[in-house]
Structure formats: C-alpha cells, structure tokens
A and B are shown apart, each in its own frame.
Chain A
C-alpha cells in the first residue's frame, strides 16, 4: 500500500479541529452579540468601525448567551488539547519540516503567485506543500496561540491580571481576541477555497490518507478551477500517466 500522505494523528486532529473551531467561533460570536462593541461603558473605541452591529445569527452557536458561554468554555479544552497533540506530533515526527518556511521562502512565494496570475507557465517545483501553503499552515498555529492567550486574558482579568495588562487591558485583550479570530477565519477560508479550487484530492488525503502524486497540483500544473479554464490555459501533465494496457 502506498504511503499515507498524512499520518492518522494529523488526520484526526485536523477534523477534530474543524469541529472544535467551528463551535468556538460560533459560540464566540454569540457571546460577542451580547455586547457587539469593544468600548468600555461610557467611552468610545478607536479601532472597530462596526461598534454596535451584531453578527448575523446564522453565524452563532449556543442559542443564547449562557448556552454559548457553556460551549465556549467547554470546547476550548478540546481545541487546546487537540492543538497540543498536533504540535507535539509534528514536532516529534518531523512533519514540521514540511510546514515551516524554508530558505528562499519569499522567492518561492513570489513564483507561486506569478504562476497563479498566469505570469509563469509551469508550476514551481515544490515538496509536500507549496510556499504559499506553508505560509498559511505555519501561521495558523501562531494565530491560534494568540487567540488562546488573549482568550485566557479576558476569562481571568483579575486572577491573571499581569497577562491581561500585557495585552493592554481587558478592552484591548477582548479586541485582540476578536481580531485574531478574524485572521484565523480568513486563513481558513483561503485554505478551504484552495482545497476545492486547486487540490480537491487533498480532501481524500486528509481523511483516509490516500493520495496519488500524479494528481498533485504540481503534476497537473493546476491553477484555481483549472478544469473550468479554456484549453489554452491548461497544460499537459508533467508526469505521464502510466500505461494501463
């Protein structure tokens, strides 16, 4: 049997993360809606243009404030433990090498960007992930760390006051908690978009682990929605398909 593209620990933690993160974001937004602004009472806040505007209820989870808080404070442990298992695994097992930016990161990112913009014909040579993917996969745990630390800071602003003060106080800690969530959502949306647009085969890889290198974006010279593009933008596979007859 071919080697699995992702170890089972990576696959399990990925999907646990999807569930936990969705619930954390939904319940977090429900909590936010109880006071959809950042200003301290009686004051104004400089840096959020939508003060007072709740997020739509379809994006919320938990039903009401107490329900959302219960979910938020329960699911946070799933998120953190799952994240720690993932980080510990990729550290001990060496997978981190496929995820941290390597030498020539900016040049490689630029080449990937050029390829996606049709300024370059051939897909740049990559390892497991391309340079832009590495950037996103590398950033995500760091953003998650900011989310967790700012979250703890607004959970316990008195008992852990030094931490909250480090974020600029309760109001700012709450703001950074929200904004880092926004960043994580953006990174996740990019990730999801690219999965469907460039490498749908990776859905199988992250679920059962199976992956055919002949279908990799590099082998297919794949740009977003390549199969929807007119013929002249496509290119033949770089590795010939094995003769089946």
Chain B
C-alpha cells in the first residue's frame, strides 16, 4: 500500500491529462471546490478541543505493520555531516523564535499518547506516540493571536502541510520523537514528526524541520494535488 499512492503520482506525469478528464468538466470542478469549502466550514464548526481520540479497548499496537510513507526516492535521513545537527525551528508570528535540538525537545514536558491513526486510504492503526504537545511549543515561542494557520515543513523533498490553528493546538497534536516506546526511526519520520489523530495521516508532516505560525494557509503537498486541505477526522 505504501507504493500505491506514490506510484500513482509518479505515473500521473503521463496520465495527468487523463486524470483531468476524469475529474470532469470545469463546472463540476467548481461544484467540488464549493462543497469542499462548505464541508470545511461544517467540520470546523464541529471541531471541539474536548473531542479526544480513544483507541478501541484491547487493540494491539500496530508496531511494524505500520506502513511508512515519504515522497523522496529513498528513506529521508538527516545527514549531519552535510547539514549540521538537526534542529526544529519554530517561527513566523511568534515572539521568541526557537531552534530546538533533539535534546531540547526531550527536555520539554513530555506526553505519551496511545491513539488511532486514520489514513486517507481508509485504513487505521493504533500507535503510541511520545513527544511534546504543539500547544506547549506555541506557548514556548509565544505564538501570536493573529496566527490562524500553522505550516509544518520537512526535509522530505519539500513535503509540507499547513493546518488551521485550532487543530494544531488540540492537545492530542504532538511533535513526536518516540513511537511505541522507542525513538522514532527513519521509516516513520525521524528525528521528529507531527502526529495528531484529529487529522488524516497525510497532514501529519514527518521529517519535521520547521513549524511556522502564519496568518494565511499555505496549502500542502497532498492538498495542492487535490486532497482535502482540512482533512479533519
């Protein structure tokens, strides 16, 4: 399944025309965009910080059966010899821009959460994440009230996804460096990645490098290709 979505994109260089055709006429495109906007409004109205994801009782951790996704040709690995030590930048509309090393992250208040993973493809998994709540990072950096969106950037070939601020500050939204009790491996976004059960998997940027608090939405890798931008669960 890892390949399927990516393979499709690789192939769509060729089949772009066909894909456009299959999306129907311009008026249909308008109708679909309109529906997406309306759906987003409804979903944002439904959103509650108090809605918490709870995995099914007795569900086992998915562990190694969790697929790994990235858009680079090979597993993205941070090469310290070329790029220097990895650090997570927190910037944009903030009072105190941050540059956090992995050690800095580990020293921040730590949270463990066992949650569901909802993939756009329809599968689900159960994982245990260890990391720092994004709301703690926002507080640390002093994010401004006017920051309505957050962009999560990565070193995975330009992959990024932007979010609405409410979902980003949900208390199950974390910058995770641990998975299932171990440090995050390169297959799942090491050294750190975003994870929140309130968003579909593709919104959760792996191989994280920068968190930007912004006044406007900035799209995203999959959202720019036609997947829902909001992608709330």
- A residues near B (Cβ < 8 Å) are 31-32, 34-35, 37, 40-43, 62-67, 69-71, 73-74, 77, 156-161, 169-171, 174
Contacts and interface: CB of A to CB of B under 8 A. Distances in A.
B211 to A, nearest CB: 22
B164 interface: no
Given A42-B63, A158-B51, A32 B232 contact: no
B228 A69 contact: yes
B197 interface: yes
A159 B226 contact: no
B69 to A, nearest CB: 12
Contacts of B67: 41
Contacts of A41: 62, 65-67, 117, 123-125
Given A159-B198, A170-B116, 5 more contacts: A31-B122, A67-B22, A70-B226, A159-B232, A170-B124
B71 to A, nearest CB: 15
Contacts of A63: 18-19, 21-23
Contacts of B89: none
A205 B43 CA distance: 41
Nearest to A160: B46
29 contacts: A34-B4, A40-B124, A40-B125, A40-B126, A41-B62, A41-B117, A42-B63, A42-B64, A62-B22, A63-B22, A64-B8, A64-B12, A64-B19, A65-B8, A65-B121, A66-B222, A67-B19, A67-B226, A70-B35, A71-B32, A74-B32, A156-B43, A158-B116, A158-B233, A159-B47, A159-B232, A170-B56, A170-B118, A171-B56
Given A40-B62, A40-B124, A73 B46 contact: no
Contacts of B122: 31-32, 34-35, 174
B36 A35 contact: no
A57 to B, nearest CB: 11
B35 A77 contact: yes
Contacts of B225: 66
B82 to A, nearest CB: 34
A98 B64 CA distance: 57
Contacts of B32: 70-71, 74
Contacts of A43: 60, 65
B227 A69 contact: yes
Contacts of B228: 66, 69-70, 73
A170 B59 CA distance: 12
B48 interface: yes
B100 interface: no
Contacts of B123: 35, 37, 40-41
B1 interface: yes
B39 interface: yes
Contact of A64 (B22, B46, B119, B126): B22
A171 B126 CA distance: 12
Nearest to B18: A63
A174 B125 CA distance: 14
Contacts of B232: 156, 159
A236 B195 CA distance: 73
A156 B48 CA distance: 12
B164 to A, nearest CB: 13
Given A35-B119, A71-B32, A42 B62 contact: yes
Nearest to B19: A63
A65 B227 CA distance: 8
A239 B65 CA distance: 69
B27 to A, nearest CB: 12
B124 A158 contact: no
B53 interface: yes
B51 A42 contact: no
Given A31-B122, A158-B198, A159-B46, A65 B62 contact: no
Nearest to B232: A159
Contacts of B65: 41-43
